[in-house]
Structure 1
Amino acid sequence: MRVIPDSDKGTSAKRNISLNILSLRIDLFHDFRGLMSGFQARNIAPASIQYLEKGLREDEVLINEGARTTVMDNDISNIGQKGRFYLTKHIWVPQEPIENFNLKMSDVILRRMPKLPLSGEDAVKVFPMLDELKKSHDKIKADLNYLLSHHEEIPALHEVHPRDLFVPGRAWRTYLLKIWGHEVKDNTAAVPDTYEAINRIPGVHTALFSILAGGAEIVPHRGSAAGVIRFHYPLIVPKKEPEKCWIEIGGHHFFWQEGVPLVFDDTREHWVKNQTKETRVVLIIDFNANMPFPINMYTGLRYNLIRHSSEVKAVLERASIGVPPRNKSVDLAKAA
């Protein structure tokens, strides 16, 4: 931020600087208060004093006889880049120590998580609500086939969230339906039966189609959402040599089979490789694990901080691609 000083010197300039410092404190207080009281959408003018950190967007502050005019840059291109996590457009925290702390918490939380990973009927026995997707398999597959007719419009993951560059190029595309509790309405309209089935599963906060091209590899990594259970529902898998399209989770090796669910903890290191020439598509759903007190306080606070952060708001904006809406399938049994 640049401050253009008042033409007067001495007392007048000092008074204006003092007012600006006070305004900074007030603005930051309102930003933080809004964040912690439910993170309601606000249009709060940034303070007219220098932000000391390089890389923040520059704001022009004009001071004229005690009055301020602020020109804000609403560009979100910095949000999601490696190194910073933006709570609001003007408040960020360093990414690495936050992620390291969260992963340490995840090691504590893991001891209270269900025994994972689980596949097939073992997964459904522990999480019977996931059977809702199997009941709607054909409808979801029809939604997906329609969506894939607009394949080129579907963004790569790092185009939605630049920090998540696990696969170069556009070999890993993601079509977001829900992110940290926010519906991506432009996207769900194109796959209405899928979203209806997802809504029958309690506690879902994120859902997306994950589309991995043949020959692609997602390098080993750990997610940061401790206390969250990740569900893979395979919809398209390689027909030839399906065992060559696999995921390894904490030393457990699986290959996807259509309609066979897989449940795991995203904070465990996992590695994905598609060694075929065919595309793999899974529906990914994240939902909360039931955690005891006081761990549920930590996971609840983290959920609300992320849900109302500028990071998630930027993802929502980037993920909406506007595939034309599709009508729900007609249930022939009910129609008869």
Structure 2
Amino acid sequence: MLKWVILAVFVGSTLYVHFRGRVRLKFFRQLTDHSMFMAPVNVFMYACSRVPTKPYVSTEFFDDLKPLTASWQEIRAEALALRDAQQIKAASSYNDVGFNSFFRRGWKRFYLKWYDDAHPSARELCPKTTEILNTIPSVKAAMFAELPPGSELRKHRDPYAGSIRYHLGLVTPGDDRCYIEVDGERYSWRDGEAVMFDETYIHRAENGTDRDRIILFCDVERPMRWRWAGALNRFIARHLVAAGASPNQEGDKTGGLNRVFASFYAIRLKAKALREWNKPLYYVLKFAIFGGILAWIFWP
């Protein structure tokens, strides 16, 4: 009986996540999207959230982030120095499971921290920014993210609802052709201006200008209604999300998920080759595997 209750909760949560918002992934893509596996946890996060569960969230709920906007020019100076030194870049190998697909379309990053203390490379190259971030415990992850001219991020949703995404414009075209779209609503970055959004809504980004875009990108802990819910959120982040740590340079921490990602990606490359060769066969095998796993778990 318990396993059927678990299945019902899982299916109900997945349907809620799929139909939440105005923009949706195609249904069969949603069934195999990585965010599906976190659906029950995410529904819990929405239910316990102390801030509105809307695509965009006002920065007024996060007074502790004001030092970032107040210091945006100093932060920008460090970001520009990194760009000039070509340190804002794609991963050098398959060791960034969270953002691996973004690199193919031009996106680049330099990690400042990831659910832990700052990377050694960040403390060395960005001392002012890491100093400010260390005074804001609610910022769990931070990076400089670059979207060069002509780059894009296609529709996706992030897998974990325990945080709210923060973007601070540092070097922006100041042009509406350079934008992020969250649940169908567009926002164009501006220098020194911050925006916050729920990254578990479908979102995409594009730089259709001939100028670069660099932002400070942070994951900020979602405020929860009850202390025990906040403790659970931090537990999940510390023991699951933190495993996605990716290095900038040798000597930086690499999380457990990224240590095994290269092996899994080799399998994924073979799957992608099969899809190119025979797409119907690829999907038949894909859903057969998922169906077989469910039957093994739930069939008497």
Q: What interval of TM-score do these two structures reach, taking the shorter chain for normalisation?
A: 0.5 to 0.7
Write the mapping of 1:290-305 to structure 2, written as runs, cut at 5 A. 290-291=223-224, 292=226, 295-305=229-239
* Distance in 2 (alpha carbons) for counterparts of 1:158 and 1:111: 39
Residue among 311, 320, 324 paired with 2:249? 320
Residue among 39, 51, 68 paired with 1:103? 39
CA shift in 2, pair 1:308/1:139, >3 Å = closer
Residue among 299, 303, 306 paired with 2:240? 306
Write the mapping of 1:262-277 to structure 2, written as runs, cut at 5 A. 262-277=195-210
3-state SS of paired residue (2:125) = coil
Write the mapping of 1:135-284 to structure 2, written as runs, cut at 5 A. 135-151=70-86, 153-156=87-90, 159=93, 160-162=95-97, 164-169=99-104, 171-239=106-174, 242-284=175-217
* Distance in 2 (alpha carbons) for counterparts of 1:231 and 1:154: 18
Per the alignment, residue 274 of structure 2 pairs with none
3-state SS of paired residue (1:243) = coil
Per the alignment, residue 62 of structure 1 pairs with none
Which residue identity is paired with 1:319? N
Structure 1 position 110, deviation (Å): 2.2
After superposition, give the CA deviation of every residue in 1:270-304 in whole Å (9 maximum; x if it has no partner): 11111112111110111212222654354233112
Shifted more, 169-178 versus 284-293: the winner is 284-293
CA shift in 2, pair 1:158/1:100, >3 Å = farther
Structure 1 position 97, deviation (Å): 8.9
Gaps of 5+ in 1: 1-95, 323-336
Which residue identity is paired with 1:269? I
Write the mapping of 1:36-115 to structure 2, written as runs, cut at 5 A. 99-113=35-49, 114-115=51-52
Question: Contact 1:209/1:284 (CA < 8 Å) preserved in 2?
Answer: yes
3-state SS of paired residue (2:176) = helix
After superposition, give the CA deviation of every residue in 1:31-83 in whole Å (9 maximum; x if it has no partner): xxxxxxxxxxxxxxxxxxxxxxxxxxxxxxxxxxxxxxxxxxxxxxxxxxxxx
CA shift in 2, pair 1:158/1:194, >3 Å = same
What is the RMSD computed on CA atoms of the aligned residues?
2.7
Question: Contact 2:179/2:205 (CA < 8 Å) preserved in 1?
Answer: yes
Structure 1 position 145, deviation (Å): 1.8
Which residue identity is paired with 2:193? V
Structure 1 position 112, deviation (Å): 3.6
Question: Contact 1:156/1:170 (CA < 8 Å) preserved in 2?
Answer: no
3-state SS of paired residue (1:233) = strand
Greater share of strand: 1
3-state SS of paired residue (1:205) = strand
Question: Contact 2:35/2:157 (CA < 8 Å) preserved in 1?
Answer: no
Structure 1 position 143, deviation (Å): 1.0
Which residue identity is paired with 2:192? G
* Distance in 1 (alpha carbons) for counterparts of 2:98 and 2:137: 29
CA shift in 2, pair 1:261/1:101, >3 Å = same
* Distance in 1 (alpha carbons) for counterparts of 2:156 and 2:144: 19
CA shift in 2, pair 1:129/1:118, >3 Å = farther
Question: Contact 2:105/2:152 (CA < 8 Å) preserved in 1?
Answer: no
Which residue identity is paired with 2:169? P
* Distance in 1 (alpha carbons) for counterparts of 2:120 and 2:112: 7
Per the alignment, residue 23 of structure 2 pairs with none
TM-score, with structure 1 as normaliser: 0.58
Structure 1 position 306, deviation (Å): 2.2
Question: Contact 1:180/1:306 (CA < 8 Å) preserved in 2?
Answer: no
Question: Contact 1:234/1:258 (CA < 8 Å) preserved in 2?
Answer: yes
Greater share of helix: 2
Which residue identity is paired with 1:176? Y
Residue 286 (str. 1) matches residue 207 (str. 2) = no
Which has the higher Rg, Structure 1 or Structure 2? 1
